[in-house]
Chains A and B, each alone.
Chain A
Amino acid sequence: MEFLTALAEHTFLQIAVAAALLASIGCGVMGTYVVVKRIAFLAGGIAHSVLGGMGAAVYYDFDPLGGALVAAIVAALLIGWVRLRWRAQEDTLIGALWAIGMAIGILFIAKSPGYQADLMSYLFGNILLVPQQSLWFMLLLDAVLLLLVGLYHRQLLAVTFDEEFARLRGVPVTFFYLLLLVMVAVTVVLLIQVVGLILVLALLTLPAAVAGHYVHSLGRIMLLATLLGSLLSVSGLALSYQPDLPAGPTIILLAGAVYVFSAVFIRLRSLRQVHTARSAQSSHKEEP
């Protein structure tokens, strides 16, 4: 309740809620692809190598968000290209890029006077400090993502579902696979605003994973994951407000709790269904 009164009063809270909602669109739509295509580790590599771009941008006095976007796209293309060329080394390369990107970022930030404090906010995000002009940037990124998914959802589905078959049907698999990774990279940059780059992976995967427990088509998972993401990030923000906890970790813990609860619930439900089916079978046998 106190959060609601504060929300009405303070502009920074309104901006925070708007940022959470804008980030949820990206996390719902692209998180769905990440979960069904099983590229969470790859998304993690992109997210962490982003620190390199942010550090360089801070050092040379550019907009960190712009630096993050460039670094994310370069990392996505590099990882995607290597995966398509040399399948076997994919995970090693992602691990290397993960660490190298972070190391570059930390070196740059260490050499930028007065910016040390910002390191924490890049790593863990600070949704309460999102500047107003970032909202427009986030809105633009969301619009681009939704436009691309709207235009190319069938190709993206074909490439996510069955690359070999898509290739045989003449779909340019390399192009759409790289496009998908670039879109994931853009989403990572969106989410860094809210939860920071260390926690991006959780917000990218958990809402879509929970949604996947209950609905079974890509479109529906996207919709439900966006709603869940909005709900989780805004209520995490509200929960963190009164006891003055950092918002990012609160949001992630809430999302994690919902995921674990949902996974256990689904498991118990399927066990009970098997049990009911078995007892129905055995009672049939006893009848004659």
Chain B
Amino acid sequence: MNDQPLIDIRDVSFSYAGPPVLEHVDLQVREGEFLGIVGPNAGGKSTLLKLILGLLEADTGRVRVLGRRPADASRSLGYVPQYPSFPRDFPISVEQVVQLGRINARAPTGWRGMLWPSRLSRADRLAARTALTEVEADDLAQRQIASLSGGQLQRVLLARALVSDPQILILDEPTANIDQRLESDIFDLLRELNRRMTILVVSHDIGFVSTYVNRVACINRTLVCHHTDAIDGQVIQDLYGEKVRMVAHSH
């Protein structure tokens, strides 16, 4: 059972009404990995994430997340977008934003769940507090999101992704809009989180990212390189096997 990849992408191609953005991409992510996805701008990194999240559907090929269709698995994923997909001046507090990450956590599936009135429970409040503490942003709980700096907002978005206790955490350029010192803070935090969840992080900075992640996938329309660094002794065997396989593939 453990050999089953959490994310299984087979021969996937995708285009937005134009030239292909992704072509014949194969990628498997296993439990406990910390995968860095790097590549040039407009190389298809964010598109790949959106396919995994079920926000986009592949033209051809197959994407499976936790053995299910991406849209059915999205509740088990945590997602930190590159650009916040909400207006920064929305009247809402940090605490409320994080609590929204727990919406629908207990709703039944099907159309009954659709009409399920979502109440904020004590457990939701507590989980939001814990998530904010984990990203060291508990002092921001009562602040309006409009008053946050870029780095503070990034922590809050991370807390919102963590509050539902996801199996896989997916981050799109989590440090693009913040300064370098904060960048290593965030990645130290991700390394800590990697003990209990699988992490995919998109970055344009291959040098920086490779010191943290235990595998790198380079995307530029196709998967052009697939490099493994054995960092963690526990998974060294797995990863080494993976690397050998990848080399064999490319020749």
Contact = CB atoms under 8 A, between A and B. Distances in A.
Interface of A: 36, 38, 151-152, 154-155, 157-158, 161-172, 175, 212, 215-218, 221
B53 interface: yes
Given A161-B90, A212-B91, A218-B92, A168 B100 contact: no
Contact of A168 (B53, B84, B117): B53
Contacts of A155: 103, 118
Given A151-B117, A164-B55, A216-B144, A169 B90 contact: no
Given A161-B100, A163-B85, A168-B55, 7 more contacts: A161-B90, A162-B86, A162-B100, A168-B53, A168-B77, A169-B101, A218-B91
Contacts of B96: 157, 217
Contacts of A154: 100, 103, 118-120
Contacts of B91: 36, 212, 215-218, 221
Given A154-B118, A155-B118, A212-B91, A171 B77 contact: no
Interface of B: 53-55, 74-75, 77, 79, 81, 84-87, 90-93, 96-97, 100-101, 103-104, 107, 113-114, 117-120, 144, 160, 164
Contact of B81 (A163, A164, A170, A171): A164
A165 B92 contact: no
Contacts of B100: 154, 157-158, 161-162, 165-166, 169
A157 B118 CA distance: 11
Contact of B107 (A158, A161, A170, A175): A170
A157 B96 CA distance: 10
A166 B104 CA distance: 9
15 contacts: A36-B90, A152-B118, A154-B119, A155-B118, A165-B86, A167-B74, A168-B53, A169-B100, A170-B74, A170-B104, A171-B103, A216-B91, A216-B93, A218-B92, A221-B91
A158 B117 contact: no
Contacts of A157: 92, 96, 100
Nearest to A163: B85
Contacts of B77: 168
A167 B55 contact: yes
A163 B90 CA distance: 13
A169 B160 CA distance: 11
Given A151-B117, A163-B85, A217 B93 contact: yes
A161 B86 contact: yes
A152 B85 contact: no
Contacts of B119: 154
Q: Kindly list the 3 A-B residue pairs having the minimum CB-CB distance in the complex, ordered from nearest.
A: A162-B86, A154-B118, A151-B117
B23 to A, nearest CB: 25
A72 B7 CA distance: 45
Nearest to A154: B118
B94 to A, nearest CB: 12
B92 A217 contact: yes
B120 A165 contact: no
B143 to A, nearest CB: 10
A168 B166 CA distance: 12
A170 B105 CA distance: 9
Contacts of B118: 152, 154-155
B91 to A, nearest CB: 4
Nearest to B75: A170
Contact of B160 (A38, A165, A171): A165
Nearest to A35: B91
Most buried by A among B55, B92, B96, B113: B92
Nearest to A172: B114
Given A158-B103, A217-B92, A217-B93, A169 B144 contact: no
A158 to B, nearest CB: 5
A170 B79 CA distance: 13
Contacts of A165: 79, 81, 85-86, 100-101, 160
Nearest to B107: A170
Contacts of A152: 117-118
Q: Which of A155, A164, A165, A216 has the most CB of B within 10 A?
A: A165
A162 B104 CA distance: 15
A175 B87 contact: no
Given A152-B117, A217-B91, A169 B75 contact: yes
Nearest to A151: B117
Contacts of B90: 36, 161
A214 B100 CA distance: 24
A38 B87 CA distance: 10
Contacts of B92: 157, 161, 216-218
